[in-house]
Structure 1
Amino acid sequence: MDLQQMRYVVAVAETRNFTRAAERCSVVQSSLSHRIAGLEQELGVRLFARSSRRVELTSAGEAFVARARECLAAADRAAADAAAAAGVVRGRLAVGVIVTAAAVDVPELLQRYRARYPEVRVVLRSGRSDDLVAAIREGELDIAFLGLPENRRPSGVETLVLDHDEHVLVVPAGHRLAGAPRVTLRDVAGETFVDFMQGTPARAQSDQAFAAAGLARDVAYEVGLVELITRLTARGLGVALLPSAFVRPLAASDPGLALVPVVDGPRRIECLAWSRFHASPATRAMLDVLGVAPRSRAGA
């Protein structure tokens, strides 16, 4: 058994297709199939159930792929550590980012990072803050930019607060409150709201603010994309509460939206999060570009 065989198996498991897996691995399909068949013979089990239309992992295949990914990640880490010891940073950096990130200009940050570490391959993933934190804990992400309620910190990861922000009320330009100098949550509790999906950190920020004020509200539209929230709001279907640093540039270019400060509105923090265990050379390089000194841990 060797690492190349593991890479072939993982590629087939992810693509569910021998032809696409061979293309991903830059090898002819017959060679990939032959190496996997040899591995199955060595292990004495079938890793894949094949038919004319599809390829599925067997139970033995699922168990093998889970450990194969760990082995491949360890091999990549070993190569990256060896290169870093010689003064070269290379490998892979997986970065998570929420769609409303505003504390850091992520494209500009990646441009600076690329200029200093051109041999690192960067993978970007957007998602919910809680999902990104879980991905760091599972080793799927190296670092992430999060948005969380002000009184909340993610567990199981290292964090650094990058900025504090407050939400503003987003209303259609013709709304009765457009142009108001400020409002309170009580002033807007009777409005129809457009918000993020229930249970997400982005939604929790507004829910907690209304609960703390002893108020209920009607969330008629639950949306997974912030761009859709602003579009529905501009159409007059509801009002929204969104982080000011993120939404101000959008409203400046959209005459259909107006922003109103909220005296007792939600507040959030933007955080940088990374693994509390051994950070890869590529991760340490990113922390260096950000001006963050990672805390050392025993055994890390």
Structure 2
Amino acid sequence: MLDALTLDQMRTFVTIAESGSFRAGAARLSRVQSAVSHAIANLETELGVALFDRSGHRPALTPEGQALLANARDILLRVDAMRARARGLGEGIELELSLIVDTLFPIETVGSALNEMRTIYPNVSIRLAVSPLGGPLDGLVERRFTLGIMVGEDFRDPAIARQALSTVQIVAVVAAHHPLGLSADDGALENAELADYLQIVQSDPSQRTAGRDFGVLSPQTCRVSSQDTKYAMIRAGLGWGRLPLWQVQRDLEEGRLVRMPTTALGRNSQVGAECYLTHRIDEPLGPAARVFGEALARLSAAPGSR
């Protein structure tokens, strides 16, 4: 029976193994050496194996002791994590931070902010989703997420608080080998001329845009379910579309993509959209969410973050 095993015995075992001797282990534990030796003897009795070879000048781990040391460390690590989580619960720290992010927002910035939060609250789990258009608002309204990052002014709800973060630049692009890309230097195209070419359009997983289109200028459309798919189809030359500048900057610099030859989609085919950190006003944010929000605001405002 192993029921008599105690955490104190296992902590003593690990401390002695790491210290190299019973005397050094006792000093680290602030105990007399005899008490430490007695604890290890009781542990060996409970386990039915010798953990240390005491025949030499210093005790050495037996093969059995070496094998069981990893188990003891694992148990103590889990117990310490449990204690930390319990302290967090007592302080109101969230068990989980759930976040839904608009596909237009630079996800790497989110990762950096989450990393800062985890350095302060390492025991808070993270649940992260990325969704376009009305998806982030639905996630908050339906209480599936604590925080949201929304882009643009098209989706608002009185129950949702918004904090401005930064501006993301949206640019209309086309593959350099596409007919529109090849004619990019021939002058600006009018809306009627754009109707001759396929436009790659992001579908909305919510019902908030039913019967509405945002920035759709061509009757010929290819609707896709993800921004990565949209990006891939545009790069393949299937059609043109609008994407965040942070995603296509390198393609523009290296000539794989070009800006659309039209002024109908903003100056230089580019417009800015405001980004917001959002949450339900009837659900106050916990410590981890507040730390994340502060980090995200600072990182979003930093030079070069856009």
TM-score of Structure 1 vs Structure 2, range by shorter chain: 0.5 to 0.7
Equivalent positions of 1:135-214 (< 5 A) are 135-148=139-152, 150=153, 152-178=155-181, 179-180=184-185, 183=188, 186=191, 187-197=193-203, 207-209=213-215
The separation in 2 between residues aligned to 1:144 and 1:130, in whole angstroms, is 11
Equivalent positions of 1:1-300 (< 5 A) are 82-84=90-92, 89-102=93-106, 105-148=109-152, 150=153, 152-178=155-181, 179-180=184-185, 183=188, 186=191, 187-197=193-203, 207-209=213-215, 217-249=218-250, 251-252=252-253, 255-260=255-260, 262-265=262-265, 267=271, 268-277=273-282, 278-291=284-297
Residues 151/95 of structure 1: CA separation in 2 closer, same or farther (3 Å cut): closer
Instruction: State the TM-score, normalized to the length of structure 1.
Output: 0.56
What SS does the corresponding residue of 2:170 show, helix, strand or coil?
strand
* RMSD (Å) for aligned C-alpha atoms: 3.6
Q: For the Cα contact (< 8 Å) 2:165–2:275, is it kept in 1?
A: yes
Matched letter for residue 257 of structure 1: L
Matched letter for residue 259 of structure 1: R
Instruction: State the TM-score, normalized to the length of structure 2.
Output: 0.55
What SS does the corresponding residue of 2:213 show, helix, strand or coil?
helix
The separation in 2 between residues aligned to 1:197 and 1:108, in whole angstroms, is 28
- In structure 2, list runs of 5 or more residues that go unmatched: 1-85, 299-306
Matched letter for residue 277 of structure 2: L
Q: For the Cα contact (< 8 Å) 1:147–1:201, is it kept in 2?
A: no
Question: Number of residue pairs matched?
Answer: 204
Q: For the Cα contact (< 8 Å) 2:137–2:156, is it kept in 1?
A: no
Please give the per-residue CA displacement for 1:246-279, whole angstroms capped at 9, x wherever unaligned. 33245446x5422337533274332211121222
The separation in 1 between residues aligned to 2:297 and 2:234, in whole angstroms, is 38
Which structure's CA Rg is the greater one?
2
Q: For the Cα contact (< 8 Å) 1:95–1:123, is it kept in 2?
A: yes
Deviation at 1:225, TM superposition (A): 1.5
